[in-house]
Amino acid sequence: MSSPQSPSSEAVVDVIVIGAGFSGLAAANQLVAAGKSVVVLEARDRVGRKVYDKLLPSGDIIELGAEFAGPCQDRVLQLAKELDVETFKTYRVGKSVSFYNGNRLVYDPEETGGYIPLGEDALKDLAVAIQTLDAMAQELDVRVPWKHPKANIWDSMTLTSWLKNAISDPMALDLLVMLARALLSAEPSDVSLLQTLTYISRAGNESTPGSFQRLVSTEGGAQEVRFSGGPQLIAKRLGGRLGEALKLNSPIRSITKRGEIYEVNGETFTGKARNIILALSPPLTGRIKYDPPLPASRDLLTQHMPMGSVGKVIAIYKTPFWREDGLSGGAIGLQGVTIQVTFDNSPRDGSHGALMGLIVANAMRRLDGKTEAEIQAAVVEDLATYFGPKAREVESWIIQRWANEEFSRGGHFAVCPPNVMTQYGTAVTEPVGNIYFAGTEASPYWSGFMDGAIRAGEAAAAKICRS
């Protein structure tokens, strides 16, 4: 790989990349390898953006943002290998817990196909609904899903409206609604059926169709592995390759085109480039001032795609006590709980215990203004419901609310209500002059994941190299 150039502040560089998450860093490294002069600007004081790991007093890390990967996520796994970041299996040994209608049930997911135990009618409804979603999703062209003959019909309805028509059993409906919340960080009523199908279709690769099961599964699915040292280590090592070309604490406020050159201005940086890559979510690109303004289609896209709502709460324990009880640390709560999904987030060696709970969609929105003490009080009740009284013996808490982050405003990706994908879908990736768009939303595979972010960044870089 070529060494990155470090131009002076007056020099016109080939590319300014805005955003040092996986997408921006992947783009920059590919451009540097092609011999381009590059500057990467990041508003935060760290790389990774929504991939963020916190160092614990023990020396271990805990993942506060994206953390999992699995089959078909080829780019993130390959990049981790190239950067000597090892993976390890997500802990899922033992039985899981479900909580529904006030009843706690311990079950073996290997005996239930990974789902909570369901009655015969509910199981049939669930199977038919998932098979139907997969079949529709596999009809889509992952790059232009809005061109499907039924795209306008599918984009005119929410996922909720489709689910209510497709499923008659209340328990099966509640389960799929909960899974949709966990996958999309939004209520099913927030998202169009077309975006849901697109999300499913993109959970694969060039040779393997996407599937709902791959999205929700641990073994053989999107949650199969974690990264030793945390996934932010990938971003740190990518950023380390860029040297002085990477500039942190550099939020950008405006982009002005003068002739064939773009002037980029921020609080701590002013620079010029022939090309721009915006490696940001659509809503965040809309917070930059452009002269001349972006086309109406792109601007309206940024107004119509809100970020999902998600938070992580991690309870740290002296030991992973649930393992002694034969539990995996995985739990699902369908009603009356704050955290609907949990994972064992303990370190690889199990030297201490960590239970991670996801708070998503409306549940997260209700807590955005609450104090951490109020959130802890709600969450500890859920953990005790799932794992018993020992779950109250929390040594420390870590709470991450992504919607409250100035340079995220939500996570893990931007969602499309009805009548957005068919009207503005092309604007997600279509360049405006020499301004190119990356970010995980722009990927034809694993949109919403680290793998998708990398793919989108590399695709934007490739467009510049070809031009």
> Which residues fall in the annotated binding site for FAD?
23, 42-43, 441
Q: Binding site: which residues? A: 23, 42-43, 441
Residue type, 426: T
How many CB atoms sit inside 10 A of residue 35's CB?
A: 10
If you search the block for the tokens 């939020």, which residue do you land on?
251
Torsional class of 329: left (φ above 0), alpha (ψ -120 to 50), beta (otherwise): left
If you search the block for the tokens 């203004």, which residue do you land on?
369
Q: Count how many residues are written for the chain.
A: 467
For the chain, how big is the Rg over CA atoms in Å?
Answer: 22
Which contacts qualify for 286-292: CB closer than 8 Å, 24 or more apart?
288/18, 288/252, 288/253, 288/254, 288/255, 289/253, 289/254, 289/255, 290/254, 290/255, 290/256, 291/254, 291/255, 291/256, 291/257, 292/257
What six digits make up the tokens of 12? 């016109």
Start-to-end Cα distance in the chain: 21
What six digits make up the tokens of 353? 């215990």
Torsional class of 56: left (φ above 0), alpha (ψ -120 to 50), beta (otherwise): beta
Outline where 34-192 has alpha helix (H): 74-82, 120-137, 151-155, 159-166, 170-184
- Rounded Cα–Cα distance for residues 454 and 83 (Å): 14
Element (H, E) at 264: strand 261-266
SS (H, E, C) 418-459: CCCHHHHHHHHCCCECCEEECCHHHCCCCCCCHHHHHHHHHH
- Rounded Cα–Cα distance for residues 392 and 8 (Å): 56
How many CB atoms sit inside 10 A of residue 144's CB?
A: 13
- Rounded Cα–Cα distance for residues 343 and 356 (Å): 5
Calculate the alpha carbon distances from 220 to 14, 212, 412, 450 in Å: 41, 12, 21, 17
Q: At what angle do helices 22-33 and 232-240 cross, to 10 degrees?
A: 30
- Rounded Cα–Cα distance for residues 184 and 167 (Å): 20
Residue type, 145: P
